[in-house]
Amino acid sequence: MKQQHTISLFFTVLLSGISDLCSSTPEIFNYSGRLTQNDGKPMADGIYKIGFQFWDNETGGDLLWGRSIDISITDGNFHILLSNEGGETIQGSRFNRLSDTFNQSSTFISITILDLPDGTQPNPQSATFPREQIASTAYAFRALHGVPTGTVVAFAGTTAPEAWILCDGSPLDSVANPELSNLFTVIGTTYGGDSASNFMVPDLRGRNILGVGQGNTAEGQQTGSLRTLAEKGGAETHTLAENEQNFKQLYWDAVSEHSKRGWNDALVPLDGSYSPWIQIARAGAGDHASHRLKYNSGPPAVPHHNMSPFLALNFIIKL
């Protein structure tokens, strides 16, 4: 008959290197405990495979994060640094990142002995221990969530830091990637995608950000245009239409003075058998003429740059 096992344990939380939001922060949960049999004697020394599960409820609920890890136990005592890199992921875990488990109103941990040192599996009923609620100390992990999901900031690097992604309009799937579920809850399909699980992040490549709403942004501090969430507008270049160009139409009456030549046809008799005649020229003033002219004082209508001096950076959004 297999022995019944009990567990007595204590745990602490170690947060190492918590710094600004753009740094890569180690996610380490420092867990220590003691395994004993039901008679109080420590479990035999050896290597045990133990499963660590984080839940969102004391009973039932969803498995938030889980790892199975080989642990050395001596005199019943063990110590483990749980992290995203250690052990094997337990099937059904909602999150890949340990810190996401502490972005809940409450979190519970349970442990299960999966394999004994001799390779056999214990009785599941005696090897799974009741869930314990994690004290507030562990919620220091929430420092990682001090920046709300959906926050957009400028970033001078090329690769987004942990828990952030580039605002490049990429299509995403919150079912295939559970770590995206919080972002999907916040922005939904506002920037593209369907209503099931596929969505898109804002595409801020080559764009500035403009505040939503209607401000006094028109000339003379007058009310400007109403801007809605995800609205797009503007262009890098612009070609002036005729009504935007500085045309000047000038009109004037131009009087032209000109002379014309005519002939008086006076006859002057000459000697000879013929009677030739000489034409004598005369001059006179001509008529007046009116002219209307139009000219364009500006350059030809060609596209011109429509941007202020800039420095290109990436925009990133918080998961």
Reported as a single tens digit per residue, the pLDDT across 251-291 is 544 444 444 444 444 444 555 544 444 444 444 554 554 54
Tell me, what's the pLDDT at 298? 52
Share of the chain above pLDDT 70, in %: 69
Q: Give the predicted TM-score (pTM) of the model.
A: 0.46
pLDDT score recorded for residue 237: 83
Say what the pLDDT of residue 50 is. 93
What pLDDT digit, counting tens, does each position of 119-147 carry?
898 887 677 888 888 875 555 555 555 68
**What is d(CA 313, CA 204) in angstroms, rounded to the nearest whole number?**
10
% of the chain exceeding 90 in pLDDT = 30
What's the one-letter identity of residue 105? S
What SS3 state is found at 37? strand
Residue 166 β-bridge partners: 316
Beta strand segments in 83-134, E: 88-89, 108-115, 132-133
Contacts with 133 (C-beta within 8 Å, 6 or more apart), sequence order: 58, 106, 107, 108
Given a cut of 90, whether residue 148 has pLDDT beyond it is no
Nearest-Å Rg of the Cα atoms of the chain is 43
Per-residue pLDDT band for 165 (boundaries 50, 70, 90) equals: very high
Higher pLDDT, 21 or 298: 298
> What is the mean predicted confidence (pLDDT) over 29-50?
86
In the chain, count of helices (H) and strands (E)?
Answer: 2, 19
Q: What per-residue confidence (pLDDT) applies to 309?
A: 84
- The rounded distance, in Å, linking the Cα atoms of 55 and 147 is 23
Write the CA distances from 280 to 271, 285, 289, integer angstroms: 19, 17, 28
Describe the strand order of the beta sheet including 152-155 as a list of residue ranges.
152-155, 314-318, 164-166
User: Which of 86-90, 106-110, 139-143 shows the lowest per-residue confidence on average (mean pLDDT)?
Assistant: 139-143
What average pLDDT does this structure show over 77-82? 89
Give the separation between CA 317 and CA 312, rounded to whole angstroms. 17
Which has the higher per-residue pLDDT, 256 or 84?
Answer: 84
Which of 113-122, 239-248, 258-267 is least confident? 258-267
Arithmetic mean of pLDDT over the chain: 76
The torsion defined by the Cα of 213, 216, 218 and 222, in degrees rounded to 10, comes to 130
User: Going from the N-terminus, what domains does the chain have, and what CATH number goes with each?
Assistant: 5-145 (2.60.40)
Closest CA to 183 of 205, 204, 199: 199
More confident residue, 91 or 261: 91
Distance CA 291, CA 265 (A): 35
- Give the residue, 282 or 55, on which the prediction is more confident: 55
* pLDDT score, position 142: 54
